[in-house]
Amino acid sequence: MSLVHYEIVDAVAKITLDRPPVNALSGELIADIDEAVTRAQSDDIRAVVITGTKHFAAGADIKRFVDAFDSDSDEPIASTLSGVVRRLEQLEKPVIAAIQGYALGGGLELAMGADFRYVGESAKVGQPEILLGIIPGAGGTQRLQRLAGYQVAKELNMSGRQVGAEEAVALHIADKVCADDELVDVAMADAARWATGPTKAYFAVSRAMSEGYGRAIDEAMMVERDAFEMVFRTDDAKTGILAFVNKEKPDFRGS
């Protein structure tokens, strides 16, 4: 992985994009991100932080689009990044995207695959694809409306405007604003706390909410019931319940 740094701090995987100057999402970078996400699937990893050097990711490498005009491939152009974002979203552990600088287009789509988004004071996020005469293709029209609401997402997707850190939090695109030089440290510290919790229960919450979203209430409640039944059989559930009964602090092992 020449364009992504992958390191483990205790049980937290730190994935850092490093394709200067702005981490434009080339095919090679996307492949490296995919490899890092695959490594983070290990049961030894109980939380993940994904970030970028100077900038998170300023969107697709436009040369890929230019090349695609002359390509005979039937593969959808957006499919590769979309698959990586989906695999990030399906990691069975909490994921924090730590965003400084630009997270635009595919960069914001990648960040929306995380459970939480922390933004540095310099952050600018948005879906500017419309300014190129195209639209998002890796979740920008779908995940953004789940975060910010239908009408806000429509305005952002149709205007292509960039949103600063404070507005991103106000619109529920991001969860926390940090000083740029503290951003990654804050994200890593929070991820370390998530890494000591009931990992499978965290994923059960995430899965129940994402799979239940938009369904009729009876169907959504079935999704929640199934997630509850699954997590109730875990070792951590037994640990947590017995610790409560015995007035002890639970020692969750993520199993």
Which of the residues are catalytic?
109, 129
Q: What is the DSSP string of 190-242?
A: HHHHHTTS-HHHHHHHHHHHHHHTTS-HHHHHHHHHHHHHHHHTSHHHHHHHH
User: Which residue in 63, 64, 85, 82 sits closest to 73, CA to CA?
Assistant: 64
Rg (alpha carbons) of the chain, rounded to whole number = 19
CA distance readout (Å), 96 to 63, 76, 189: 29, 28, 11
| Cis peptide bond N-terminal to 20, omega within 30 | no
Rounded distance between C-alpha atoms, residue 62 and residue 68, angstroms: 10
Helix, strand or coil for residue 154? helix
CA–CA separation, 179 vs 136, rounded Å?
Answer: 29
Give burial (CB, 10 Å; 0-12/13-18/19+) of 180: middle
Task: Give dist(CA 62, CA 105) in Å, integer.
Answer: 11
The phi and psi torsions of 103 (rounded to 5 degrees) equal -135, 85
Tell me the one-letter amino acid at 238. Answer: K
Cβ burial, residue 130 (10 Å; 0-12/13-18/19+): middle
